[in-house]
């Protein structure tokens, strides 16, 4: 752009000198004018283009609440309040499910919000469940105990990193690997149920280690899990659906620890079951197709033979 202005000015200067005006005066005026206008452009650029961007308050407020819940879960487990720690993880799950939907409904999505949400999830569903499990039952195993907790924590970090790289690419109807909130819910529900029944985690430390390691591996596996993201929450539904949802809430509130434990264990097992069923279906399908094709060919040959037999002989 500057080069074009200089060329334009040069041609104007040349046309002026051809008319007999003083070249030196016009040249000085031209240089002063171009420098002054460029300085004004730079000032306008600094004022108009370089602006500090703020962050949206409402969705990040929900994310911060979820982060606080995860942090509180760690503190509660360190003080031996395992039931409160488990409940705090579920509260973090509620806030995690709300922040993204609030951002989309209010059109306040941002790259900062996405990164902040991922960091909060790492604390609430990666670090917090690992430390709760370690304080409740894994510390009895010594080095093996904190290694089991680390496997879970690393699995959650890898799961979140893979999820961030697959946004907009993977099929939104399914998760690849167990989602970190669901894995955290399995640990939280187990400890919540154990605390209600006065179960000492150190007496079942090997079971806790097995569950913790398995969940860490499920998060980085290729098992497919239903994401339920294809449900349109803004569509109109029948009144009976609302009554059904109310009934579900009442049912869960009767024995929340037991029912949530059953639901999330069932969901954690659904991935391997769905994958194995899909593989078996793929193995059966080609064989059945071959059998159908063979039976069709056999039927065609029999029809041709019957036609040949029915032809009149000369």
Place of tokens 């609302």: 242
Enclosing domain of residue 7: 2-39
Quick: pLDDT tens for 119-162: 999 999 999 999 999 999 999 999 999 999 999 999 999 999 99
Do residues 103 and 143 both lie within one domain?
A: yes
Do residues 116 and 220 both lie within one domain?
A: yes
CA–CA separation, 191 and 194 (whole Å): 5
pLDDT over threshold 70, residue 12: no
Would you state the structure tokens that stand for residue 76, as one six-digit string?
């509660």
Tell the burial category of 252 from Cβ atoms under 10 Å away from its Cβ (0-12, 13-18, 19+): middle
CA–CA separation, 210 and 148 (whole Å): 8
Q: Is residue 191 in some structural domain?
A: yes
CA–CA separation, 259 and 193 (whole Å): 10
Do residues 165 and 207 both lie within one domain?
A: yes
Do residues 18 and 64 both lie within one domain?
A: no
> How high is the pLDDT of residue 18?
54
36-45, 125-134, 223-232 — which is least confidently predicted?
A: 36-45
Q: What is the CATH number of the domain that holds 112?
A: 1.20.120.1760
Do residues 11 and 69 both lie within one domain?
A: no
Question: Please, which pLDDT band fits residue 313 given cuts at 50, 70 and 90?
Answer: very low
Q: Are 175 and 230 in contact (CB under 8 A)?
A: no
Give the total number of structural domains in the chain.
Answer: 2
Do residues 74 and 22 both lie within one domain?
A: no
Quick: pLDDT tens for 233-260: 677 778 888 888 899 889 989 999 999 9
CA–CA separation, 170 and 247 (whole Å): 34
Would you state the structure tokens that stand for residue 57, as one six-digit string?
């308050």
Question: Please, which pLDDT band fits residue 9 given cuts at 50, 70 and 90?
Answer: low
């Amino acid at each position: 752009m500057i080069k074009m202005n200089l060329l334009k000015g040069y041609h104007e200067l040349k046309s002026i000198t051809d008319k007999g005006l003083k070249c030196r005066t016009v040249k000085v005026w031209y240089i002063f004018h171009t420098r002054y206008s460029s300085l004004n452009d730079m000032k306008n650029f600094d004022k108009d283009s370089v602006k500090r961007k703020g962050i949206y308050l409402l969705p990040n407020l929900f994310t911060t609440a979820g982060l606080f819940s995860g942090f509180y879960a760690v503190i509660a487990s360190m003080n031996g309040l395992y039931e409160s720690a488990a409940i705090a993880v579920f509260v973090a799950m509620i806030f995690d499910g709300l922040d993204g939907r609030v951002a989309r409904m209010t059109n306040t999505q941002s790259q900062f919000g996405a990164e902040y949400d991922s960091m909060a999830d790492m604390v609430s569903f990666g670090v917090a469940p690992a430390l709760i499990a370690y304080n409740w039952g894994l510390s009895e195993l010594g080095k093996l105990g904190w290694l089991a907790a680390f496997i879970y924590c690393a699995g959650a970090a890898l799961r979140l990193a893979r999820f961030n790289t697959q946004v907009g690419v993977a099929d939104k109807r399914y998760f690849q690997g167990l989602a970190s909130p669901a894995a955290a819910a399995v640990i939280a529900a187990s400890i919540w149920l154990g605390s209600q029944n006065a179960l000492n985690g150190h007496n079942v430390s090997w079971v806790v280690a097995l569950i913790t390691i398995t969940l860490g591996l499920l998060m980085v596996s290729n098992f497919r899990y239903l994401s339920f993201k294809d449900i349109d929450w803004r569509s109109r539904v029948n009144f009976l659906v609302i009554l059904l949802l109310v009934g579900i809430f009442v049912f869960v509130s009767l024995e929340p620890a037991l029912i949530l434990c059953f639901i999330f264990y069932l969901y954690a097992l659904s991935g391997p079951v769905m994958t194995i069923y899909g593989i078996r279906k793929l193995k059966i399908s080609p064989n059945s197709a071959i059998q159908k094709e063979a039976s069709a060919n056999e039927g065609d040959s029999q029809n041709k033979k019957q036609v040949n037999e029915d032809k009149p002989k000369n």
